[in-house]
Amino acid sequence: MKNAFKLLIALPLLSAAPLTLAETTGFAVTADLGSARQSAEGDAGNATSASLGLSYQFSPNWSASLSYIDYGNADVIEFSDTFGDDIMYNATISADSTGLGLHAQYMTDRMAGHWSFGGRAGLVRWDTDIKLAIEQIGAGGTMASDSGIAFSAGLVAAYSITEQLDVTLSADFMQYSIEIEDEKGDMDNSRVALGLKYHF
């Protein structure tokens, strides 16, 4: 998860944004941390996932967001085999994925003064590297790389700590086809995350 640490640095900065800009621009910054599950042909693996996004509020309920998502490097398939007749080895095939998402989001008015709920849908420009690692000899590398655009949808809940700062809980899903050695297979990607959203 090569970019997650950099994204996490943004979390404490959200609450330190200039208060003079509050309630004037319609813009908001979101950073979150969670888990992404990547699966293919019945095999699946989980990895720590982080994202950083910028959104603009068009109305009290509707907004649009642009976000970078690091889905992490998930070990999807683990297997054992032999070199020749008697040399056993263990190997792992993993999926290392990132995405750039553009979504439209609808949120309800705050309920009980703090909670709001909603959903989002949009497109994600995904990039996935399929990697092979052999445990005994430390060998491996990238078997295949593919990219494309997929439809993504999710649910969101937000709890307002202050007028400018929310805690968010989200769940998103997308499915796409990846090509490996001239063969295509479906990849499912589901992600849950806990984050902070600061309204400028």
Burial string for 128-160 (b: 16+ CB within 10 Å, else e) reads bbbbebeeeeeeeeeeeebeeebebebebbbeb
| Digit-coded pLDDT (tens) for 55-85 | 999 999 999 999 999 999 999 988 777 666 6
pLDDT of residue 10: 52
pLDDT of residue 182: 74
Mean pLDDT of the chain: 86
Confidence of residue 19 (pLDDT cuts 50, 70, 90): very low
Q: CA-to-CA distance for 136 and 155, rounded, in angstroms?
A: 42
Give residue limits of the domains in the chain: 4-72+97-130+149-199
- For the domain made up of 4-72+97-130+149-199, the CATH class stated in words is mainly beta
Q: CA-to-CA distance for 135 and 75, rounded, in angstroms?
A: 13
Q: CA-to-CA distance for 71 and 1, rounded, in angstroms?
A: 7
| Digit-coded pLDDT (tens) for 110-143 | 887 799 999 999 999 999 999 988 876 666 788 8
Asked if pLDDT for residue 44 goes beyond 70, the answer is yes
Residues 49 and 190 sit within 8 Å (Cβ to Cβ): no
Tokens representing residue 25 in the block: 């621009």
pLDDT of residue 84: 64
Over residues 164-192, mean pLDDT: 91
